[in-house]
Amino acid sequence: MTSSTLSPAAATTASTAAPVASERALPVTFDAVSKAFGSATVLRDITLDVRPGEVLAILGPSGCGKSTLLRAVSGLDSPTTGAVRIGGTPVTGIAESAAFAFQEPRLLPWKSIRDNVAVGLPRGTDKSAGQQLVTELLEHVELAAHADHRPREVSGGMAQRASLARALARRPGVLLLDEPFGALDALTRLKMQDLLLDIHAKHPATILLVTHDVDEALQLADRILVLGRTPGTDGATVAECLEVPGRRPRDRSGTELSALRSRLLEELGVDPHRH
């Protein structure tokens, strides 16, 4: 399966961006995934291959099941029908090869930043190797000087960086990000986007990123999955899966993505001429 065979609506545009491949990054497959809560269908027949090492941004209206899709990958929730596979293995419980970072940092207030990051280490990790990895991650997210601080002693952006480092401490093949920068101010959000790209280069993983921000998706993603509902049917499905042209980091002030930006805004029901 490829994005060009998802459905008649799943059009693509040409791209020169290539996912960052690594031995650790794993492919994710959605095979006719549907999810219902009681009589309410949230997701319907999601079929998609996510390439190893790529960044896939997921857009769609509020309540269309974006977070539910991530939870199905992590094993925090299960599809009603269909299957999710990571590296070819069906997800039947908590996926050890995936790590989740949420919109709120969810740090343990009684632990230092260093110890919060160490919480993400897999069980059985050698103590010395674990300490070294935590130290490296703190340096990568520019928190080495704040390693012994408690969460209440650092800013929101620092706390979010610690949350990202904690997820990376798991050394995941798949990194799931559910609006991780949504609660940050605009300037900190831009800095975090740049940091995520730097970390992705140093610690390649397949990234699934839920966001409401079209510009963020265009800045970070190799492809953008748009979820939407077909009139007369229940549940969101694949409306489009679009390649983002150009290699990262992309010029935020450039005009080469303007047509794709307008298309995405229209797909989400927003007048692109007013934004």
Q: End of a domain among 148, 171, 194?
A: 171
What domain count does the chain have? 2
Residue 260 — φ and ψ, nearest 5°? -70, -35
Indicate whether 26 and 83 sit together in one domain.
Answer: yes
Among 243, 245, 239, residue whose Cα is nearest residue 266: 239
Indicate whether 187 and 166 sit together in one domain.
Answer: no
Indicate whether 41 and 157 sit together in one domain.
Answer: no
Mean pLDDT confidence for 10-32: 61
Indicate whether 8 and 92 sit together in one domain.
Answer: yes
- Per the structure, the complete domain to which residue 147 belongs is given by 105-171
Indicate whether 140 and 258 sit together in one domain.
Answer: no
CB 198 within 8 A of CB 30: no
Q: Identify the CATH number of the domain in which residue 196 sits.
A: 3.40.50.300
Distance CA 126, CA 194 (A): 31
Indicate whether 10 and 80 sit together in one domain.
Answer: yes
Please determine, for residue 11, whether its predicted confidence score (pLDDT) is greater than 90: no
Indicate whether 23 and 143 sit together in one domain.
Answer: no
For the segment 80-89, what is each residue's pLDDT rounded down to a tens digit?
999 999 999 9
Indicate whether 127 and 24 sit together in one domain.
Answer: no
CB 13 within 8 A of CB 260: yes
Mean pLDDT confidence for 201-215: 92
Question: In the prediction, which pLDDT does 149 show?
Answer: 97
Distance CA 99, CA 93 (A): 13
Q: End of a domain among 115, 136, 171?
A: 171
Indicate whether 185 and 244 sit together in one domain.
Answer: yes
Q: End of a domain among 171, 204, 226?
A: 171
For the segment 99-123, what is each residue's pLDDT rounded down to a tens digit?
999 888 999 999 999 999 999 998 8
H/E run at residue 67: helix 66-74
CA separation, residue 50 to residues 74, 177, 206 (Å): 14, 15, 8
What lies within 8 Å, CB to CB, of 229 at 6+ separation is 64, 235, 236, 237
Beta bridge pairs of residue 101: 177
Indicate whether 157 and 249 sit together in one domain.
Answer: no
CB 192 within 8 A of CB 181: yes
Q: Give percent of the chain with pLDDT exceeding 90.
A: 65
CA separation, residue 131 to residues 23, 117, 137, 139, 210 (Å): 23, 10, 10, 12, 30
For the segment 22-69, what is each residue's pLDDT rounded down to a tens digit?
458 999 999 999 999 999 999 999 999 999 999 999 999 888 999 999
Indicate whether 91 and 194 sit together in one domain.
Answer: yes
Among 224, 214, 222, residue whose Cα is nearest residue 252: 214
Indicate whether 157 and 192 sit together in one domain.
Answer: no
Q: 44-54 burial, b for 16+ CB within 10 Å, e for fewer? A: bbbbbbbbbbb
Please determine, for residue 4, whether its predicted confidence score (pLDDT) is greater than 60: no
